[in-house]
Amino acid sequence: MKKILIIGTGGTIASSPTDNGLAPSLTSAELLNAIPSIRNICLVDCVQPFSLDSTNVRPEHWLIVEETIRENYDRYDGFVISHGTDTMAYTAAALSYLIQNSAKPIVLTGAQKPIGEEGTDAKRNLTDALIYACDEQSHGVVIVFSGAVICGTRARKNFSKRAAAFGSINFPELARVQDNRIIRYVPEAVTGSAVFYDYLNPNVGLLKLTPGMNNNVMRYAIDTYDGLVIESFGVGGLPEYSDFYMQIKRAVQYGKCIVMTTQVPNEGSDLSVYRVGSVLKNSLNVLEAHDMTSEAVLCKLMWLLGQTRDFDKAKELFYRPVNHDILCL
């Protein structure tokens, strides 16, 4: 039987009622006890590096999970991370950059209802995650949720309450887990050894443009962060009113890394289409996200700025595909 390590981090799946609403209380071992049939699927050990509502999960916690997997990598055939849904897409993206080229599956899952609540989706999701983690053809960082297997850099939480909370953005689902069987759509193959990274630059921000935004907002973000992801409109561009262009020019001159992306979830950006984008793209050293999710862009920028502050090297790392994160170059 395969040997799997469950890494508990809290979240709704492990929550119980309190006087002020749900809060994480159960350990990963207690989650496992709620579904004894899993013992027939694989051998399981449990660890609990922290227990948080995922609203409170930060880059430092991503590094704790990475370290837990790195220290146990040779002892287990796969890893399942029980996690809150609200920031699960960010954690999945971050782990995709912190643990690259893993021949072993690293599976995140959680639930929309606590495991002890009637009608919970927790038991199905945890069982599906373990089934996927035990399969010889499973590799790399994924989310398994409501039967969907989603690449770790392509996930987004689209629904706040329904069971099928996550969708795959600009990339097909890798597989489905149905009736304890895996139906694969995108074959995965890994050669070589896993590469672990143990440093991120967390001083990266994301700014969503709004019509008529006060230019002090962008000025503050540029002054505060080493890297900034700017979510623009449509296929991408920069408003011509105010001094946004000059602010980005100043940021680039000071060695800040700026990535332009779009607020539109699907089909990605293309700065070359309109003047408001092409002027920026052709005159300043800015990066463009294309079909990447904002979650992946933010985490990739943290990762690459943890490796280098040289723009040419950062550009090379940004446009190098990792775990299917970018296709349209």
Percent of the chain as helix, strand, coil, to the nearest 5: 35, 25, 45
Token representation of residue 211: 């019509």
Decide if 107 contacts 144 (C-beta within 8 A).
Answer: yes
| Alpha-carbon gap, residue 218 to 224, rounded angstroms | 10
- Alpha-helical (H) ranges within 181-267 are 215-224, 244-253
Decide if 127 contacts 264 (C-beta within 8 A).
Answer: no
Three-class SS of residue 44? strand
Return the amino acid letter for 147: G
* Strand 181-184 to 195-196 pairing: unpaired
Token representation of residue 254: 């000071």
Q: What residue has token string 């967390």?
A: 202
Return the amino acid letter for 186: V
Return the amino acid letter for 243: D
Token representation of residue 77: 């055939």
| Alpha-carbon gap, residue 112 to 93, rounded angstroms | 20
**Helices first, then strands: H and E counts in the chain:** 9, 18
Residues designated catalytic:
12
Q: What pairs with residue 230 in β-bridges? A: 207, 260
In degrees rounded to 5, what are phi and psi of residue 305?
Answer: -75, -15
